Amino acid sequence: MALQVEEVAPDLSWAEITIGGPLLGREAWVSADYGIPVAFAETSREEDVADGVPVFICGKGTYRYLTIRGSQSLMCTATAVGYDAPAFAWKVNGVSVSPPSSPFVVPSVSIPVTSHVPLPSGGETQVSLVATLNHALGVNSLTLTGFAADGNYLLEVEVTASESSATAADPAPPTSDKGSMKMTNVRLVYEDRYYADLEACVSRVKDIDRRFSKSRWPGLNRFLRPEDPAAERIAVLERILDDVRFGESPALAEQLSTVLDQVRFRMALGVNHPGTPGNSLT
């Protein structure tokens, strides 16, 4: 039993109180972190040459590239407040994720998705399909693993917390939280010359903006230099992407978003900046 004082008279002649269970005044809620990278298990890579590859807004070129296919694993972790012993249930794109029927079986779930596969000369293929994902359930976590055959897709993940303690007094009602994450099983990585040309293009655009534009794009007021660390160049490109989106240029925004994904992936592979020994495709 718990008492909560709502209001007290100045002369202490009366008080308004609420009588309730032990959870009185304690809000119950759940939150989660979505899309935490766990691993990318490469299954194949193919090298080829593509013509007409867009270089931001500076025309097109011919570049060598790698198509890297594999299985990406992403984790979601949940935190609940207001429960004695919270239990977590998960849904992915509206489909419930069930515990494995046997310890000897790798559990999987079939999810309707819109699959996107990048094309080396720009753009992507898009198709609706049912993707298969392996999953692992922890006490407060869900790990999903995709497959290259299903391409890249967005996932909406919902977690619901509920009270599992049989001795909880006045158990809190279930609460839910939603988030999204991107499963990327097919990746394009271009040769270093492409990224050097891209950065030179951004520098030229910045220079034109500085000399002729009456209204400056804040994101272009910072050069991308070849010697910059990858993380720093990513931050600059993100600012430029914000400017492009603000300027209502969806085509440029989509192209730059793809470039950002490629640069992030190169950084994860240990590729820092163009011209670094060992960073070529060969």
144 lies in some domain: yes
Give the strand pairing for 95-96 and 86-92.
antiparallel
**Number of domains the chain contains:** 2
Q: Are residues 98 and 160 in the same domain?
A: yes
Same domain, 175 and 232: no
**Are 61 and 194 a contacting pair, CB within 8 Å?**
yes
User: What is the per-residue pLDDT across 119-177, written as a single tens digit (0 to 9) for each?
Assistant: 998 888 999 999 999 999 999 999 999 999 999 999 999 999 999 999 988 899 999 99
Contacts of 104 (CB under 8 A, 6+ apart): none
Q: What is the mean pLDDT of the chain?
A: 80
Terminal CA-CA length for the chain: 71
Do 206 and 182 lie in one domain? The reply is no
Give whichever of 26-30, 53-57, 103-107 has the largest mean pLDDT. Answer: 103-107
Identify the domain containing residue 238 by its residue range. 192-268
The residue among 127, 159, 189 that closes a domain is 189
Pairing relationship of beta strands 141-145 and 95-96 according to DSSP bridges: unpaired
Residue at a domain's end among 189, 217, 243: 189
Same domain, 152 and 230: no
> Residue 100's CB: how many other CB atoms inside 10 A?
13
For 72-103, the pLDDT digits (tens) are 999 999 999 999 999 999 999 999 999 988 88
Residues 48 and 125 grouped into a single domain: yes
pLDDT tens digits, one per residue of 243-279? 666 555 565 666 667 777 767 776 666 554 433 333 4
Number of other CB atoms surrounding residue 183 within 10 Å: 24
Which of 165, 189, 213 terminates a domain? The answer is: 189
- Cα separation, 93 vs 146, whole angstroms: 14
In a domain, 159, yes or no: yes
33 pLDDT higher than 70:
yes
pTM above the 0.85 mark? Answer: no
Residue 108 domain flag: yes
